[in-house]
Structures are given as structure tokens and as C-alpha cells.
């Protein structure tokens, strides 16, 4: 240790009070009982934090302290307790914070090393692998996602009803984003007329089950993603169990019976359904979040007469349109999984491709809804025959 460094340390000690790990341990106990209020900041590098940290600490590396602390602790009169590995960097950091106007800054003597030496508890954080840190680096750069958000996505499960026009782009982007488990239920095979918009499939897959084709594409894109395929139609025999198993459901179906079936099961399991639909040049998307916004039956208590329902196989659509709506659905799913932003609940976002316009309708819960209303019973409602399956 050089002379100049010793002098800097001596001066820092004159300005920044130091507490022992034992004293901070007691203060943390008081804080957890609501008898004390301060912010505990770990100023070490990420690689050190990953080895373990003091429970209740937040991580602001020394190199980012000046740029990030005001966002983390806006109130400069609030006490901040700093620690590093050995007590030197936190002391320096304490001086910096005082220069920035923080009035009550404390440094832990002996740092994390002494904390562990005292036998106090610490947390070993779960972290991304190096390969994952590279793959998701653009997520890690967004504070609203970050490493914890990415880990959350990797732990998440999304069920896609259909690997068609809406399910294809949704599944592809959810896989790229690192949603760890994707369930895909689809009983159909890939046909040449699908390829104008169902981009998860390709020409060599014609005749293959869509769910299997989607799995092949996703496996090639991201080995972090487990794809569960269900080569069946969603019906009363499987809907309950499937919905129960997933966190968010993306509805890419084009028929009314499935929507009612899914709606009721999602209400029972309390799972959000991200609903999308497209027709010619227009699309719409909304999130049915049980008991938060309206459900599908609040909006459509009865299915339309079969004569008014668009023919399932032959409704025309501009090929890019389901891409736009499907990606809005994927975006909503990720927001729900991360708990960020304002999901499209109680709103219907519509897109008119010809006009180049997005619009929004407000949607309201029906207090008398027979599914989600005060006296609603989602478990014993009428389901309908699938006109498209006939
Ligand atoms: Zn309802």
C-alpha cells in the first residue's frame, strides 16, 4: 500500500463512518421488523456479487455508482450502508456519495469477507450462463428486463393455441426471447396455403404436423426452449389440464367454440389469455386477465349464428397482418410474465393495415356476466360445437 493511498484512506475514514458486520446485521434485523430504514448497497463487481451477497442488499457496482445511485435512492437524506469485498472500495464509494449530496452514508468494515467470516447468512444468486448472457445481452441492457427478468422468462411457460398465422410469429419471437417452455397445441398439418403467413413452417414441412414443424424451427433457433407439442384439438377433455400447466395463454384460434372453452378454463385457473384475431386488412388484440378486465363472455355472451361466422378455412388475410397481431400478442405475453408495463386489459387495440392506423376501444366487465360476474359460474357453462371441425 503506497503512501498516497494510505492518506486517501485516512481522509475517507474521517468523513465516512464505519460499522462492523455485526452492527449491520442487527440493523438489518431491525429493518426487517420495520424499525429501521436504510438501503444496503453492494458496490462490488458483478462477478463478485454472483459468488454471494448480503441478504437484502441491492447491487450497484462501484463503476456505475455515480450514474445509477440517484435512480436507485432518490432521497439524499436516506441512510445508505455500503459494502464491498474488504471495506476499501465501499469507503471510497462513501466519499463519492457524500460529494453527490448524500447526507447519511456508512461503510461496512472488512466487507463481505468479514461478513462471511462472522458466519452470517448470504445469498448465492442464480445467474445466466456465459452463453445465455451473450444470447440475451440486448435484454440485459434493458433495466426492466435485466438478468432477473431473463431468468424469469426462462422459467416461464406459455401455451400457444394454434401454430398458424398468429401462433407462428408469436412462438418464434417468444422462443427467441428465451421463454423457457412453449406448449403448442395444433392438430393440423402444414399446407402450402399456410406458408404465405405461417412463418414458423417452410416448404419442406408440407404434410408435417404444425406443432412438430414449429418445434423443429424453435429447436434450431434456441436450445434454451423446451417445446411441448400437443397434436390434438383443444376440447373439454384437455383444456383444464393444459391451461393449469401454463402461465400465459396465447389464443391464435379462429373459432368461437374454442374461445368460450378457453375463456372458462382460464377463469377457473386464473390465467391470462392474450387474444388476437385477424381478417383481411384488420386485426385486433386484447388481454383477458381474469377478474381484472372483462372476459370473452362479457363481450360476447352468445356466439354468432353459424351463417355470420366467417368460414374458418377460407377467410382471406393479408399475409403480414397476423405477423403484426401475433407479435403484439407475444409482446403482451412477455409483459405479463415480467410484470412490466400496462397490459392491454380492458382495452381492444385494433390495427387497420390499409389506413395504417392503430385505434383503441375501451372494454368493460359485465357485472352480470355468467362466467366472471358476481354470480358467475365458469365451471358449468354451455360449450359449443366447433363448426370449423365439422
Ligand atoms: Zn365475463
Per-residue pLDDT of 88-109, as tens digits, reads 999 999 999 999 999 999 999 9
Ligand 1 center to residue 272 CA distance, Å? 13
CA distance 81 to 157: 38
Please state the CATH superfamily assignment of the domain spanning residues 156-389 in this structure: NAD(P)-binding Rossmann-like Domain (3.40.50.720)
pLDDT for the residue numbered 311: 53
Q: How many angstroms separate the alpha carbon of residue 325 from the centre of ligand 1?
A: 23
User: How does residue 182 score in pLDDT terms, banded at 50, 70 and 90?
Assistant: very high
How far apart are alpha carbons 90 and 20 in whole angstroms? 13
Query: Domain 3-117 falls in which CATH fold?
Result: Oxidized Rhodanese; domain 1 (3.40.250)
Among all chains, which residue has been given the C-alpha cell 428486463?
145
CA distance 59 to 57: 7
Tens of pLDDT along 12-36?
Answer: 999 999 999 999 999 999 999 999 9
Task: Report which of 340, 180, 167 is spatially closest to residue 249, judged by C-alpha positions.
Answer: 167
Q: Give the pLDDT of residue 39.
A: 96
Query: How confident is the model at residue 305, as a pLDDT?
Result: 74
* pLDDT single digits (tens) 231-246: 999 999 999 999 999 9
The CA 29 to ligand 1 mean position distance, Å, reads: 45
Does residue 390 register a pLDDT over 50? Answer: no
Q: Spell out the domain ranges in the chain.
A: 3-117, 156-389
Q: What is the 299 CA–ligand 1 centroid distance (Å)?
A: 7
Distances (CA, A) of 356 to 118, 277, 302, 322, 327: 64, 17, 32, 15, 17
Contact between 208 and 192 under an 8 Å Cβ cutoff? The reply is no
Percent of the chain with pLDDT over 70: 96
Ligand 1 center–CA 124 separation, angstroms: 44
**pLDDT for 313:** 58
Half-sphere exposure of 138 (CA within 13 A, CB side): 4
183-203 mean pLDDT: 97
Compute, in angstroms, the gap from residue 158 CA to the centroid of ligand 1. Answer: 22
Model confidence at 337: pLDDT above 90: yes
Catalytic amino acids?
A: 312
Please state, rounded to an integer, the average pLDDT across all residues of the chain: 94
Please tell me the distance between residue 179's alpha carbon and the centre of ligand 1 in angstroms. 29
Q: Mean of the pLDDT values across residues 275-284?
A: 96
**307 pLDDT higher than 70:** no
Question: How far, in Å, CA of 71 to CA of 79, rounded?
Answer: 15
| C-alpha cell of residue 270 | 386464473
Q: Sheet harboring 181-185: ordered strands across?
A: 226-230, 181-185, 157-161, 248-251, 273-279, 282-288, 347-352, 357-362
Amino acid at each position: 500500500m503506497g503512501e498516497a493511498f494510505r492518506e486517501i484512506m485516512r481522509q475517507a475514514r474521517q468523513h465516512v463512518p464505519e460499522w462492523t458486520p455485526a452492527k449491520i446485521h442487527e440493523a438489518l434485523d431491525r429493518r426487517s421488523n420495520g424499525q429501521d430504514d436504510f438501503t444496503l448497497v453492494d458496490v462490488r463487481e458483478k462477478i463478485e456479487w454472483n459468488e454471494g451477497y448480503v441478504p437484502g442488499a441491492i447491487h450497484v457496482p462501484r463503476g456505475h455508482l455515480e450514474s445509477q445511485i440517484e435512480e436507485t435512492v432518490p432521497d439524499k437524506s436516506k441512510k445508505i450502508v455500503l459494502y464491498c469485498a474488504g471495506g476499501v472500495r465501499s469507503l471510497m464509494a462513501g466519499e463519492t456519495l457524500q460529494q453527490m449530496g448524500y447526507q447519511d452514508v456508512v461503510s461496512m468494515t472488512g466487507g463481505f469477507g468479514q461478513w462471511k467470516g462472522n458466519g452470517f447468512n448470504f445469498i448465492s444468486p442464480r445467474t445466466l450462463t456465459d452463453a445465455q448472457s451473450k444470447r440475451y445481452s440486448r435484454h440485459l441492457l434493458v433495466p426492466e428486463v435485466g438478468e432477473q427478468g431473463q431468468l424469469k422468462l426462462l422459467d416461464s411457460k406459455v401455451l400457444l393455441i394454434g401454430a398458424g398465422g398468429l401462433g407462428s410469429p408469436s412462438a418464434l419471437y417468444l422462443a427467441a426471447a428465451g421463454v423457457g417452455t412453449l406448449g403448442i397445441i395444433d392438430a393440423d398439418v402444414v399446407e402450402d396455403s399456410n406458408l404465405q403467413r405461417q412463418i414458423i413452417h417452410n416448404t419442406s414441412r408440407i404434410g408435417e404436423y404444425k406443432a412438430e414443424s414449429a418445434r423443429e424451427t424453435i429447436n434450431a433457433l434456441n436450445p434454451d426452449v423446451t417445446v411441448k407439442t400437443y397434436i390434438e384439438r383443444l376440447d373439454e377433455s384437455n383444456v383444464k389440464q393444459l391451461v393449469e400447466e401454463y402461465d400465459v395463454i396465447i389464443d391464435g384460434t379462429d373459432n368461437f367454440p374454442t374461445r368460450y372453452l378457453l375463456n372458462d378454463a382460464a377463469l377457473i385457473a386464473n390465467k391470462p389469455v392474450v387474444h388476437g384475431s385477424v381478417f383481411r386488412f384488420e386485426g385486433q388484440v386484447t388481454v383477458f386477465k381474469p377478474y381484472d378486465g372483462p372476459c370473452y363472455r362479457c363481450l360476447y355472451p352468445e356466439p354468432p349464428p353459424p351463417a355470420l361466422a366467417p368460414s374458418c378455412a377460407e377467410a382471406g388475410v393479408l399475409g403480414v397482418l397476423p405477423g403484426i397481431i401475433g407479435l403484439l400478442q407475444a409482446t403482451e405475453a412477455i409483459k405479463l410474465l415480467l410484470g412490466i408495463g400496462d397490459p392491454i386489459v380492458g382495452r381492444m387495440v385494433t390495427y387497420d393495415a390499409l389506413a395504417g392506423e392503430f385505434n383503441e376501444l375501451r372494454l368493460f366487465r359485465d357485472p352480470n356476466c355468467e362466467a366472471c360476474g358476481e354470480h358467475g359460474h365458469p365451471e358449468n357453462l354451455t360449450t359449443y360445437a366447433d363448426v370449423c371441425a365439422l
